[in-house]
Amino acid sequence: MSEKIVISPTSRQEGHAELVMEVDDEGIVTKGRYFSITPVRGLERIVTGKAPETAPVITQRICGVCPIPHTLASVEAMDDSLDIEIPKAGRQLRELLLAAHDINSHCIHHFLIAQDVVPADLMVTAINSVSEIRKNVQYVVDMVGGEGIHPSDVRIGGMAKNLSEVARKRLYARLKALKPKLDAHVELITGLVADKGFPKGLGVTSAPAVASHPTYGDGTNFDVDRFTEILPESWYDDPEIGKRACSTIPLYDGLNVEVGPRARAEVYRGFNERGVVAQHVARAIEMKIALSKIIDILAELDTSAPVLADFDVRGTNKLGIGAIEGPRGMDVHMAQVADGKTQFYSALVPTTWNIPTMGIATEGFHHEFGPHVIRAYDPCLSCATHVIVVDDEDRSVIKNEMVRI
């Protein structure tokens, strides 16, 4: 006899979502559905009709957890629409900013999953490790971005200013000193995940892995012609869920996909493991890759070089694509600029891509493992909202209407 298990809201994530699992007599999930119930805020609509430089400032406020990827995806989309080639040093500073943010965000995730994988006698060690790493990499974000949460120095055409030579040397020394601590943290987390004893195959799906770049992002690797976006009623076979879900379903080549650290590792590094353990391992290893990139950029950066390009803000109505590989996966912003105004804006954020895959990933195992599967993707729901639920006049009919977030 089938039973329905509902977790609402799911825990230790940003935003609000539900996990609905149909289970058999043994509690095994036969059908998993995960969906956002976070309200729409209309930020994409707000930037439309305004000057292009408004978009990065507004869309970086899509989320307080991942403002850096949204800022960068926005300026990359605008750069593309305005045909801007940013200076090398400007590009390096953007990549430096994202790498530091990725480490910070992955550490936050380790804090969120600590209850799942860290034994009591190691909890203080793990939390202190998270705090130490975050303090150091967030210092990089502050110095490069201008602010820790909403990076004011990221601009269309590059960056507002370069680092001073003194700041470069200070950051280089600080991050070099962090390396053994971060390596030890990664070893700790991957070892604890391996020791947790998750069932073999937990969270494995056949969803294709999609990524635009191994570390930063590349809009030329996102083919807009392969992308479609459908309403939730067309995806969920439960009409009630279809009505209540607050995100569209983005598909690539007509399929639901997986984005994120594990997807990047598969696409660019030949990492073929899948499932919950693989998600955690890939995320932890990516911290080491990001730190190495930070150190390399700081060693090479020419602090006397220009970081901001001149450009014509009027635009030609070209559809610009900005793809940034944020902590949770591929973050695509699209923008069209003409007559000095943003004519169109859309954000296809990482968790939106993963939502249809995450529910499926709970299937085939006991429902008690469902939350572990969801948390492995580190979902961030506020970014993902693209649908508003509307009542008719007598409040008896509910339907979904797609809006830009």
| 322-361 pLDDT tens trace | 999 999 999 999 999 999 999 999 999 999 999 999 999 9
pLDDT digits (tens, 9 = 90+) for 233-285: 999 999 889 888 888 899 999 999 999 999 999 999 999 999 999 999 999 99
Q: Are 258 and 273 spatial neighbours (Cβ–Cβ below 8 Å)?
A: no
Predicted pLDDT of residue 398 = 52
* CATH for the stretch 43-352: 1.10.645.10
CA–CA separation, 164 and 302 (whole Å): 10
206 class by beta-carbon count within 10 Å (0-12 exposed, 13-18 middle, 19+ buried): exposed
Residues with pLDDT less than 50, the chain:
395-397
Predicted pLDDT of residue 402 = 60
Predicted pLDDT of residue 397 = 46
CA–CA separation, 287 and 23 (whole Å): 36
Predicted pLDDT of residue 386 = 61
First to last CA, the chain: 40
Domain range summary for the chain, segments of one domain joined by +: 43-352
Token pair listed for 21 = 């699992």
pTM attached to this predicted model: 0.93
Predicted pLDDT of residue 392 = 57
- Specify the amino acid at residue 273: E
Predicted pLDDT of residue 303 = 98
What angle is formed at CA 352 by the lines to CA 347 and CA 354, rounded to 5 degrees? 140
Our measurement of the distance from residue 364's CA atom to the centroid of its chain's CA atoms, rounded to an integer in Å, reads 26
Predicted pLDDT of residue 15 = 82
